[in-house]
Amino acid sequence: MNRSAKGRITRRIIAAYDDRIIRWYCTIRFRIINLRMLEEIEQYMPRKGTILDLGCGFGLFSHYFALCSKARRMLSLDLNGRRITLAKEAARRLGTDRQTNFRAMNVLDYPFDRPVDGIVMLDLVHHLPKGRADEILTHCYRILATGGVLLIKDVEDRPLWKMAFTWILDKAMDYRTPVNYYDRDRLIALLRERGFEVHSHQMLDILPYPHVFFICRKTSPHGEGTALPQTNLQSHSGHS
Ligand SMILES: C[S@@+](CC[C@H](N)C(=O)[O-])C[C@H]1O[C@@H](n2cnc3c(N)ncnc32)[C@H](O)[C@@H]1O
């Protein structure tokens, strides 16, 4: 699928939301996590099987990943019940309702009782209460199929001015939400302790977001694995 076809998918997704403000939000979100970044994320995602989308928001990226491959089944969770309702309505309009399962749930309460082929967390980790990311990462490792991948897009805590910019926008969206940006090396250490093989790089953007992408592979049931294949890592600097 070429980039213009993917662009059409994003426009279809935006049009599937009834509310003008939500469409505006989706448009902004597809600018922040733009097509280039989505292509980069998607290249690591299994083409088929179950993908868990933790903190899916209005579900726009779950729809996107489902529409990019009909063999994917998305299981998508978000704390916010209204967002989940709107995600389900959009799924009916997009015809992705057979491929998607949206559930209103705190990821901290999710039992992680279902094996999955891939997991994605787009800007969720920094919204988890302090110290609670560890247990989620442990559960992710446990339910992920061997060879499966956890893809995390988050923002790091440096440089300070970029972190401040992101903090203002996060708090403007919801002033009650916890915001705990991670030191990149600390998050990598947490992931490696759980057994993941981790590659990470910054995702550069015109906007001053300190985006970081983590590709976390479960290479063996016990974590002692082989090297992650180097596939087309775009727009990066500072590999870890
Ligand atoms: C910055 S938004 C990102 C949404 C979506 N992943 C995206 O990229 O558009 C973070 C989302 O995480 C959700 N969230 C925060 N804490 C959560 C938790 N403990 N369990 C489930 N969802 C949570 C929020 O409701 C919000 O929709």
Enter the tokens of residue 229. 């294949």
Q: For the CA atoms of the chain, what is the radius of gyration?
A: 17
Cβ count within 10 A of residue 40: 23
Judged against a pLDDT cut of 90, whether residue 62 lies above it is answered with yes
Q: What is the mean pLDDT of residues 11-40?
A: 94
Indicate the pTM of the whole model.
Answer: 0.90
Q: Stretch 54-65: mean pLDDT, rounded?
A: 97
Distance (Å) from CA 123 to ligand 1 centroid: 7
Q: Please, what is the average pLDDT of the chain?
A: 89
Residue 237 pLDDT more than 90? no
CA angle centred on 110, ends 75 and 53, rounded to 5°: 30
pLDDT higher than threshold 60 for residue 95? yes
For the stretch 202-214, pLDDT in tens is 888 777 888 899 9
Measured from the Cα of 105, ligand 1's closest atom is 21
129-169 pLDDT, tens digit per residue, is 988 999 999 999 999 999 999 999 999 888 888 888 889 88
Q: Which helix (H) or strand (E) holds 143?
A: helix 133-143
Query: How would you classify the pairing of strands 49-54 and 144-155?
Result: unpaired
Amino acid at 16: A
* Domains of the chain, residue spans: 3-217
| CA trace torsion 13, 206, 122, 104 (10° rounding) | -50
For ligand 1, mutation pick of 29, 42, 78 (most atoms within 8 Å of CB): 78
Task: Give the whole-number percent of the chain exceeding pLDDT 70.
Answer: 92
Nearest residue (CA) to ligand 1, atom 4: 57
As a whole number, mean pLDDT of residues 37-49 equals 95
Assigned CATH topology for domain 3-217? Rossmann fold (3.40.50)
Ligand 1 centroid to Cα of residue 139, in Å, is: 18
Pocket of ligand 1 (CB under 6 A): 29, 55-57, 60-61, 77-80, 83, 106-108, 122-124, 127-128
